[in-house]
Copies of this chain bind each other. A is one copy, B any other.
Amino acid sequence: MAERKRPSLSHVDATGRVRMVDVSDKPETRREAVAEGDVHMNAAAVRAIRDRTVAKGDPLQTARLAGIQAAKRTADIIPLCHPLPLTSVEVDLVPRRGGYRIVARVATVGRTGVEMEALVAVSAAALALYDMLKAIDRGIVIGPIQLREKRGGRSGDYRRS
């Protein structure tokens, strides 16, 4: 079966050798991505956020800042990501039954897309929220985390249906 597939994937290295894909010849265009992820927590944790009684400080601002800063460090965290000069990062936390939905929007003008940056922002914000609340609820669950939409670039726009 592997034999059937490999011939058509001539750019694939037989040994799985990792490399950062060459995007030198792609034009610089505006690119955007939106990712989202849920954080599920118990009622005491939700109340602590709303009543502002979390001992380590405001969890929502901390989560937003963690998300923004991690987005900027995506090429450091994800081994094969290209470094990109981000032009915009926004992280929202929307209250939902049993927790929060985190939505991150990232933009750049560059040679490759920013979906990883948006996903990293959501993940870091979710982890920071967990960290702020773990003394209240150690059973917090993060996810599903997924790409919602993506615009710009050769591979076309994407919108999760």
Chain A positions within 8 Å of B, measured between CB atoms, are 1-2, 5-6, 9, 11-24, 30, 37-38, 47, 51-58, 61-62, 64-66, 68-70, 72-73, 75-92, 107-111, 115-116, 119-120, 123-124, 126-128, 130-132, 134-135, 138-147, 150, 155, 158, 160
Least CB distance, A118 to chain B, in whole angstroms: 11
Counted per complex, copies of this chain come to 6
In the complex, the answer to whether A55 meets B127 with C-beta atoms within 8 Å is no
User: Closest CB-CB distance, A59 to chain B, in whole Å?
Assistant: 8
Q: Which residues of B contact A55 (CB under 8 A)?
A: 9, 11-12, 21
Find out whether the CB atom of A19 lies under 8 angstroms from the CB atom of B91: yes
Does A2 lie within 8 Å of B57, measured CB to CB?
Answer: no
